[in-house]
Structure 1
Amino acid sequence: MKRIWDISPPVSAQSPIFPGDEPFSLKWTARLSADCPVNLSAITMSPHVGAHADAPLHYADGAASSAEVDLDAYLGRCRVIHAIDCGPLIQVEHLRHAASQMPARVLVRCCQKAAMHWDPDFSAFAPETVEWLAGLGAKLIGLDTPSVDPASSKTLSSHQQLLRLDLRVLENLVLDEVAEGDYELIALPLKLTGACASPVRAILREL
C-alpha cells in the first residue's frame, strides 16, 4: 500500500486560534445508557480551527462559500517545498530551488515543528510569491502556519491575491515529517452552505 502522511493537527479545546475566534468545544447531548442506545456529541468551533480551507467568501463579500468551491484544486499531485525559518514572509527566493515543472498544488513548510499554541510571529506568503506561484500554474497553495497573511495585516494582501488569481488555500497544516518532493494531496472541504471556510482532514499519499 502507498504510504500516507496525515498533515492535519488534532482539533481540541487546546487548538491555537486567532484571538477572538471561536474555539473548539464539544458537549454530549446523549450518552449510552439503559434508555439510550448511542453516544451523541455536538460541537461548536470556527471553521478556521485546525487544518482548513478558506473559501473566497472569507475575504470577499458575495464570493463562493465552502459549499460552492470546485473540488479539483484540493485533490491531485502536490509539491512540498521547505522554507524553514524563512522569516516573516515567504519570498520567491525561498521557493525557486523547487520551481522546475511545478504541479498545480504547492505546500510550503515554514516550521521546524508546527505550533501547539498561538504565536502571532508566524511566516506568511509575500503577495508577489502568490502571484509567482500562480504564474507557474498553481491552483492551490498551503502552509503550516495559521494564515497566508501576517497576523497583524489589515489589508490581507496575499488573500486578495488568491481572490484575484482564483487560487484555493490550505492553512494550519502539519508538515513536520514531510520531506521535500511530490505527493498526492487529498484535502476536501466540507459542503458547508454559506461558510467562509471548512475544516479538512488533509493527507499526502506517495505517488
Structure 2
Amino acid sequence: MTFYDVTVPISNAMITWPSDPAVSITGTSLISRGDFCNLSELKIGSHCGTHIDAPSHFLENGRTIDQLALENLIGEATVFEFKNKENIDVSDIKQLRFDNVKRVLFKTVNSSYWKFSTFKKDFVYLTKDAAQYLVDKGIRLVGVDYLSVEKFESQLAETHHTLLRNDVIILEGLDLSNVERGRYELIALPLKIKDGDGSPARVVLKST
C-alpha cells in the first residue's frame, strides 16, 4: 500500500490566484525568543493552494463547504493524464472510460508549474462542454492540478457554474507530479468552515 500526498504546501512564498489574498504565516509566539510555545497566525484565502470549491463559491444559495457530503470526498478516484493540451475539451473526455467512476482527477503539464515562483496564466483548463459531459456521466468530484478548473480571465465562469449547479465538487490546486494515471482511493478533506465558500484541503491518494 502506497500513499501519495498530492497537496501543495501552504507557505508565505506559495503561488496564489492573482486577485486572491496573499498567504501570511507569522510566528506570534516563539520558543526561540523565550515564549512558552510556538504559535502562528495564519492569513490565507479560502481558495489558496490545494482547495475545494463549494457550490456557494459561485451560487448564491449553493451548498457551503461544511455541508458537503463526505462520501463524495472519500472513495475511489481515477487519475486521467492529458499531455500537450491547451485545454481539456469534450472530444478528449469522450475518449475516456467511466465505468463505475464517480471521482476524476486530471493530470496535465500544470503539475510542473508548482516549481515556478510566479503564477502561470496559460494553465490547462476544462471547457464548459467537457464539464457538462462529466455531469451527464454522473461524476461527483472533478480535480485539476492548478488553481482553477476555469480558463484564466473567463468572464462567465461557465465551467464552474456547470459543475457546481449540479453539486459536483471541484478540487483544485493538486500536485500530481508523482502520481501515475490509474485508480486510487481518494481522501480529500477541507476545513469545516461554517457557511464557507471553499477551503484548503489535505488531499491524499492511496494505491488500491
TM-score in terms of structure 1 length: 0.92
The answer to whether the 8 A contact 2:59-2:165 is kept is: no
Counterpart amino acid of 2:90? V
The equivalent of 2:28 in structure 1 is 29
Q: Give unpaired runs (5+ residues) of structure 1.
A: none
Deviates more, 1:14-23 or 1:42-51: 14-23
**Residues matched between the structures, number:** 205
Shift of 1:94: 2.3
The answer to whether the 8 A contact 1:28-1:41 is kept is: yes
Runs of 4+ in 1 over 6 A off after TM superposition: none
Q: Does 1:94 align with 2:92?
A: yes
The equivalent of 1:69 in structure 2 is 68
Q: Kindly, what percent of the aligned residue pairs are identical?
A: 29
Q: Give unpaired runs (5+ residues) of structure 2.
A: none
> Which structure carries more helix by proportion?
2
User: Residues 41-190 of structure 1: matches in 2 within 5 Å?
Assistant: 41-87=40-86, 89-111=87-109, 113-115=112-114, 116=116, 117-190=118-191
The equivalent of 1:203 in structure 2 is 204
Shift of 1:168: 0.3
Shift of 1:102: 4.5
Mapped to 2, the partners of 1:164 and 1:33 lie a distance apart of: 50
Query: CA offsets, 1:73-120, max 9 Å, x none?
Result: 111000000012211x21133233431415110000121613333011
Mapped to 2, the partners of 1:35 and 1:206 lie a distance apart of: 44
Query: CA offsets, 1:117-159, max 9 Å, x none?
Result: 3011111111111121122221000110211111110100011
The equivalent of 2:18 in structure 1 is 19
Mapped to 2, the partners of 1:182 and 1:155 lie a distance apart of: 33
Structure-2 change in CA distance of 1:34 and 1:165 (3 Å): closer
Counterpart amino acid of 2:55? P
Counterpart amino acid of 1:164? R
Shift of 1:188: 1.0
C-alpha RMSD of the superposition:
1.7
The equivalent of 2:192 in structure 1 is 191
